[in-house]
Amino acid sequence: MGNKQRGFASMSPEKQREIASKGGKAAHQKGTAHQFTSEEARAAGRKGGQASGLARAQKSGRVAVEKEERRPEEETVPTASLDEY
């Protein structure tokens, strides 16, 4: 199966924008579209800026990259192998 584009990926950017616009308008008419308050938008921007700044600092070597330790609840549970069946 090659890498033939399907769905949105096969459409022109103009067509994608047109369809996305229809979806946004429909959500607003239905009342299900989320509208950020200025405080939510500010917090999201701050979070993105911090993540971006940290990534840049790590790439430049100004900040050491720490490996996260796995917490016990994040450990994987062993599963049966197919040989057991």
Residue 49 lies in a domain: yes
Q: Say if CB 44 and CB 52 are below 8 A apart.
A: no
For residue 68, is it within any domain?
no
pLDDT higher for 35 or 74? 35
Cα–Cα distance measured from residue 43 to residue 48, given in angstroms and rounded to the nearest whole number = 9
Tell me: the pLDDT tens digits for 22-62?
988 998 888 888 788 999 999 988 988 888 888 888 888 87
Q: Which are the contacts of 16, defined by CB distance < 8 A and separation ≥ 6?
A: 8
Query: How would residue 85 be classed by pLDDT, with cut points 50, 70 and 90?
Result: very low
| Domain limits for position 47 | 35-61
Write the pLDDT tens digit of every residue in 5-27.
888 889 999 999 999 999 889 98
56 domain-assigned: yes
- With 0-12 / 13-18 / 19 or more C-beta atoms within 10 angstroms meaning exposed / middle / buried, residue 11 is middle
Total domains in the fold of the chain: 1
Residue 45 lies in a domain: yes
Note whether residue 57 is domain-resident. yes
Task: Give 80 or 42, the one with higher predicted confidence.
Answer: 42
CB 78 within 8 A of CB 72: no
- pLDDT at position 21: 92
Picking from 9, 4, 33, the residue whose alpha carbon sits closest to that of residue 19 is 9
66 occurs within a structural domain: no
